[in-house]
Amino acid sequence: MAQIPNEELLKRIAEKFDQQVTRVGEPYGLLTVETGREQIIDLLTFLKTDDALRFIFLTDITAIHYPEQEKQIGIIYHLHSLTTNTRIRIKVFLTDGDVHIPTATTVWEGANWMERETYDFFGVIFDGHPDLRRILNVDDMTAFPMRKEFPLEDPNRVDKKDYFFGR
């Protein structure tokens, strides 16, 4: 099957979700849409199960932090339709104090570790996740290191102190 054109893909999504899913752009031809957490699972399920689309492969779940935005934390889903070789990116933005989103493990089992990683680095709580704990960082870490308010550097580093350089 041939690749689905972005306009057609967008039209099919709009038929089902109307104004709930908005187009953000098409950087490098990759259709990017934004939606809310209320219909994210419905949207993922639709994209996966629809006979014409069949986005059966969840490439990645990740997040991004824009401290200057009102909705600071963005959760990003990458899907791939292996039968048509079409890709799509879905973004959901959440306010800082309320970073809850329903888990996608109900749609893809493989979302388990991706969501653990996203929790580990951004502190996104995936409601309904079977085992939401840190996956890469040490268990006793209190920070969510990819958020901008946490410094990248380790505070225990001594050999970069200013007085070693006469500052």
> Smallest gap, in angstroms, from Cβ of residue 64 to another protein?
18
**Residue 62 · residue 118 · CB < 8 Å:** yes
- Residues between 104 and 143 with contacts to another protein, criterion CB under 8 A: 136-138, 141, 143
> Smallest gap, in angstroms, from Cβ of residue 153 to another protein?
5
Report helix, strand or coil for 49: helix
Kindly tell me which of 2 and 138 has the beta carbon lying closer to another protein: 138
Kindly tell me which of 19 and 156 has the beta carbon lying closer to another protein: 156
For residues 18, 21, 24, 29, the Cα torsion angle rounded to the nearest 10 degrees is -80
- Residues between 148 and 167 with contacts to another protein, criterion CB under 8 A: 150-154, 156-160
Kindly tell me which of 133 and 160 has the beta carbon lying closer to another protein: 160
> Smallest gap, in angstroms, from Cβ of residue 78 to another protein?
24
* 15 near another protein, judged by CB under 8 A: no
Helix then strand count (H, E) for the chain reads 3, 7
How far apart, in whole angstroms, are the C-alpha atoms of residue 29 and residue 117? 27
> Smallest gap, in angstroms, from Cβ of residue 161 to another protein?
12
Kindly tell me which of 14 and 135 has the beta carbon lying closer to another protein: 135
> Smallest gap, in angstroms, from Cβ of residue 18 to another protein?
43
**Mode of pairing for the β-strands spanning 31-35 and 86-94:** parallel
User: End-to-end distance of the chain based on CA atoms, in angstroms?
Assistant: 64
Kindly tell me which of 160 and 167 has the beta carbon lying closer to another protein: 160
How far apart, in whole angstroms, are the C-alpha atoms of residue 63 and residue 89? 12
Report helix, strand or coil for 115: helix
Positions that interact with another protein (CB under 8 A): 136-138, 141, 143, 145, 150-154, 156-160
